[in-house]
Amino acid sequence: MSLLYRSTRDLKANTIPASEAILKGLSSDGGLYVPTSIPKIDFDLSELLDFSYQELAFRVLRLFYTDFSESELRKCIENAYGDNFDTSLIAPLSFHDNNGYLELFHGPTIAFKDIALQLLPHLMTTAAKKNKLQKEIVILTATSGDTGKAAMDGFADVEGTKIIVFYPKDGVSFIQEQQMLTQKGKNTFIYAVDGNFDVAQTNVKRILNNDKLSQKLANDNYQFSSANSINIGRLFPQVVYYFYAYSQMVKQQKISLGSAINFSVPTGNFGDILAGYYAQKMGLPINKLLCASNKNNVLTEFFNEGIYDKNRPFYVTSSPSMDILVSSNLERLLFYINNEDVQATIDLMTQLSNNGKYSISSEIKDSLSDFFAAFADEEQTANEISRIYKIDGSIIDPHTAVASYVARLYKEKYPDSTIPTVIVSTASPYKFPQSVLIGLHDSAAFETGFTALQALKNKSHVEFPSAIEQLLSKHNKRAKKVISSSDMKKAVEKILFTK
Ligand SMILES: *Cc1c(COP(=O)(O)O)cnc(C)c1O
């Protein structure tokens, strides 16, 4: 059975196959690609228990990428999930304070973005071959810190691709910036932008949808694509670990097969949690998806009040990858809760771009009952890190701490519920040593990044992952290039058209 994709903003509902949607990234009408229907899993939940991560990835992704052959898809998966992860489980589940923590930070850049971005380049080059694309693919990406590094790592020296990354100049952690500035690969380019993530993301979308520029690119044998979670090649690999978490919960006898669990997801651009929503619609027994925000709590208000309002102060927090006021992937959810009504989706998105604000009717808000939304401020995040440390000596990163805190709020609200919660752990604490040490009241929090790393190691007794070892041994650092957000297009043109 073949599954096709359409744009959330296309009233004519034109469709294209998965490989084409992966190559394009964003639809030219500004909308996001969604499958014409959400596939149901075609295996029994009990079979899950026998699947390796790779086998499960194949079983899930073949339902979405139906124009890839079995051997193509298996090869992509095999190349993506191997020795580049520091555990053969890829996404192990640990337990602290009776909750599961799904550890998604065992890849090369120690954040959950690796799960999708180690696979995306393989999907994209396979899709290019399939579509007989002779053009070089130019990946444009805005990053709140983790996507940039993970995308560059995935695409570094991949033939037929170039990748250009923009990050907010004061909006990423010291380690995140060091990781990006030490990236190898002649086809990788990186700029710090004078503005926050939303500014960078809006401009990237504008550049991607600039017809004149696209034409100029085509004449020079280039084609744009995106590595942000707006790309279906990035979104659906994230569905896999929801199933994998469930299978580990059963195997570790935390639940019986078929009973429901909750997931608490630290949320920014709404890609990760949307993948959970797809997993649920595909047939995974998920009770609630807990949408956990930091102080930039625009989504908390949306779920609780039915109002999305980005006209509010923007905070730089200890969980920078969630410092986002315009969550791109929410557009896909809006499309679904409006019963796939394209005009309604366009209207909301037009209000957002004109007024920075929209609201949904109370009937539509009722269909959001699969979600619970709350946030943790900076102090609550820091306290959660120290609370877990006091319980069993393990250290979680600030993003994970936000989700961990929200899981507690949920439990307080529903004290009688016996449904277990899995907290999606999105980054290694070594990526944010200073913020973590603040939570642990360690004076090294005020030292430079590298001293803080050592202090964190002394506390956690966890070896440095290879991403950190590499950072400590790297000397070939690039100079930080800061540009104004209005010069992003110029920067792209300079890279592509300077001969
Ligand atoms: C990107 C990121 C998030 C947020 O994920 P979204 O898909 O953007 O909602 C949370 N935590 C970490 C560590 C991240 O890198």
Q: Is 269 in the pocket of ligand 1 (CB under 6 A)?
A: yes
Instruction: Name the pTM for this structure.
Output: 0.95
Q: Is 321 in the pocket of ligand 1 (CB under 6 A)?
A: yes
What's the CA-to-centroid distance between 187 and ligand 1, angstroms? 25
Residue 184 falls in the annotated catalytic set: no
Q: Which atom of ligand 1 is nearest to the CA of 400?
A: 11
What's the CA-to-centroid distance between 12 and ligand 1, angstroms? 33
Q: Which atom of ligand 1 is nearest to the CA of 431?
A: 13
* pLDDT(55) > 80: yes
CA distances from 87 to 377, 399, 453, 465 (A): 32, 21, 22, 11
Q: Closest residue (by CA) to atom 8 of ligand 1?
A: 269
For 230-252, what is each residue's pLDDT tens digit? Answer: 899 999 999 999 999 999 999 99
Architecture label for domain 93-110+234-464: 3-Layer(aba) Sandwich (3.40)
* pLDDT(439) > 70: yes
Report which of 145, 134, 271, 122 is spatially closest to residue 196, judged by C-alpha positions: 145
Q: Which atom of ligand 1 is nearest to the CA of 113?
A: 15
**Cα dihedral: 319, 323, 327, 333 (round 10):** 30
Q: Which atom of ligand 1 is nearest to the CA of 324?
A: 8
In this structure, what token pair is assigned to residue 355? 């007024």
Say what percent of the chain tops pLDDT 70: 100
For 195-236, what is each residue's pLDDT tens digit? Answer: 998 899 999 989 998 999 999 999 999 999 988 888 999 999
Mean local confidence (pLDDT), 362-373? 95
Q: Is 266 in the pocket of ligand 1 (CB under 6 A)?
A: yes
In whole angstroms, what is the distance from residue 115 CA to residue 118 CA? 6
Q: Is 270 in the pocket of ligand 1 (CB under 6 A)?
A: yes
Cβ atoms of residues 235 and 329 within 8 Å: yes
Which residue among 104, 112, 293 has the greatest number of ligand 1 atoms within 8 angstroms of its CB, and so is best to mutate? 112
| pLDDT score of 449 | 78
What's the CA-to-centroid distance between 275 and ligand 1, angstroms? 12
| pLDDT-derived band at 49, boundaries 50, 70, 90 | very high
Q: Is 146 in the pocket of ligand 1 (CB under 6 A)?
A: yes
Q: Which atom of ligand 1 is nearest to the CA of 267?
A: 9
Of 12, 24, 113, 251, which one is the catalytic site residue?
A: 113
Mean local confidence (pLDDT), 276-293? 98
Q: Is 294 in the pocket of ligand 1 (CB under 6 A)?
A: no
In this structure, what token pair is assigned to residue 90? 């890829």
Q: Is 268 in the pocket of ligand 1 (CB under 6 A)?
A: yes
Q: Closest residue (by CA) to atom 14 of ligand 1?
A: 321
